[in-house]
Amino acid sequence: RMKPVEGRGCLLKEVHLNVTDLGLGYRTKEELIFRYCSGPCSDAETNYDKILNNLTHSKKLVKDTPSRTCCRPITFDDDLSFLDDNNEDYHILRKHSARKCGCV
Amino acid sequence: PVVTRENNCLNAAKACNLNDTCKKYRSAYISPCTSRVSTAEVCNKRKCHKALRQFFDKVPPKHSYGMLFCSCPAGDQSACSERRRQTIVPVCSYEDREKPNCLSLQTSCKTNYICRSRLADFFANCQSEPRSLSGCLKENYADCLLSYSGLIGTVMTPNYLRSPKISVVPYCDCSSSGNGKEECDKFTEFFTDNSCLRNAIQAFGNGTDVGVWQPMPPV
Nearest to A80 among B10, B27, B34 (CB): B27
Say if residue A20's pLDDT is above 70: yes
3-state SS class at A39? coil
DSSP-derived letter for residue A4 is: P
Tens-digit pLDDT profile for residues B16-33: 999 999 999 999 999 999
Nearest residue on chain A to B91, judged by CA atoms? A88
pLDDT of residue B215: 46
3-state SS class at B154? strand
Q: Which class for B89: exposed (0-12), middle (13-18), buried (19 or more C-beta within 10 A)?
A: buried
Tens-digit pLDDT profile for residues B84-99: 999 999 999 999 999 9
pLDDT of residue A66: 87
3-state SS class at A31? strand
Contact B161, B169 (CB under 8 A): yes
Interface with chain B: mutation pick from A35, A75, A87, highest number of B CBs within 10 Å: A87
Q: What is the mean pLDDT of residues A57-78?
A: 91
Higher pLDDT, A5 or B1: A5
Helix and strand element counts for chain B (H, E)? 11, 2
pTM: 0.89
What number of C-beta contacts closer than 8 Å exist between A and B? 52
Q: Which B residues in the span 103-132 are in contact with A, Cβ-Cβ below 8 Å?
A: none
d(CA A3, CA A60): 28
Average pLDDT over all residues of chain B: 91
This model of the complex carries an ipTM of 0.87
Q: What is the mean pLDDT of residues B127-136?
A: 92
- Phi and psi at B37, nearest 5°, equal -100, -25
Say if residue B210's pLDDT is above 60: no
- Phi and psi at B19, nearest 5°, equal -110, 125
d(CA B180, CA B103): 8
Say if residue B205's pLDDT is above 50: yes
Nearest of A32, A15, A14, A13 to residue A93 by alpha carbon: A32
